[in-house]
Structure 1
């Protein structure tokens, strides 16, 4: 009436060691010395930030300026991210006005973090952009400033001057590929 099962059908699972569970996924570790999380890899195709959020003292001059007057740092970031469509002074003044009237400059500045991440394919990290700026506004501005600086921008001269330098092949005040000429009298 019922089909018969082979005698070894039940024995093949009971003989030998029991099957093992797959290994647990690796959890991110927190490196207290470096003050940053380490993951196996960021999301597919996304790059990591060149410096951590709390590495403000990697550039102490910018850290001091950002602490005293964050509108300057924001203006420099916005000028580069917007590719010169809005001047450093204009962006900084808009940020200062928003901060003075509502105290919510972080909602304006987080838009530029999102634009910057999209342009350079940067990983969002643990928290969304608005939360990073809400909780750590000054650290976020310093990180964005350092990221652009590490990507070769001279933050003090703005977008137009940076593009002019790149078009001329100038980096760091030297012409790329030009031989060094000695200074002084020559015969």
Structure 2
């Protein structure tokens, strides 16, 4: 029994390797120059629209600027992605992957979502209908008034 997969669900390999960036140069360039954008896009899909890309990008940037350790924050979402899709913890622990190769890890996560039919650039609302989900409307405090 695996500690990272307590439900005994069979784990599958990633659709691409950690360093297979040649297939998507555009996302690799964006990730290299501004990893917060790629992180925000990935997280919006993983959170099913509960959080926005802009908010996730801002949190990531703030953590990076204050601590230079955004990898410790982003690795938690690699774990979430792996568990949601039954992926192997490969090539090593999620935290180590993000701490040693954060840019490659974000690109791999982006490619994984693309390989599963998500158009990551469109965000959750642009993908919800094709994945059998309902895009949630933003909460409005106080209700509607005339």
- TM-score greater than 0.5 by the shorter chain: yes
Could you tell me which of 67, 70, 93 is aligned with 2:58?
93
Ranges of 4+ aligned residues in structure 1 off by more than 4 Å: none
Give a deviation string over 1:93-133, Cα, whole Å, max 9, x none.
10011011100100010010000000000000231000000
- Output one character per residue of 1:49-103: Cα deviation in whole Å (capped at 9) or x when no partner: 0000011121000000000000000000000111111101100110011011100
Query: Does residue 156 in structure 1 map to residue 121 in structure 2?
Result: yes
From 37, 44, 51, the counterpart of 2:16:
51
Structure 2 Cα separation of the partners of residues 166 and 120 of structure 1? 14
Work out the CA distance in 2 between the residues paired with 1:123 and 1:166.
23
For residues 43 and 80 of structure 2, the distance between their equivalents in structure 1, rounded to whole angstroms, comes to 10
CA RMSD of aligned residues (A): 1.4
- Any conservation in 1 of the 2:9–2:86 contact (CA below 8 Å)? no
Which protein is richer in strand relative to its size? 1
Secondary structure of 1:136's partner?
Answer: helix
- Give the structure with the higher percent helix: 2
Mind listing any 5+ residue stretches in structure 2 that lack a counterpart?
A: 1-7, 133-146
Distance 1:93 1:57 in 2: 28
The DSSP-based 3-state class of the residue aligned with 1:117 is helix
**Higher CA-based Rg:** 1
- TM-score of the superposition, structure 2-length normalised? 0.82
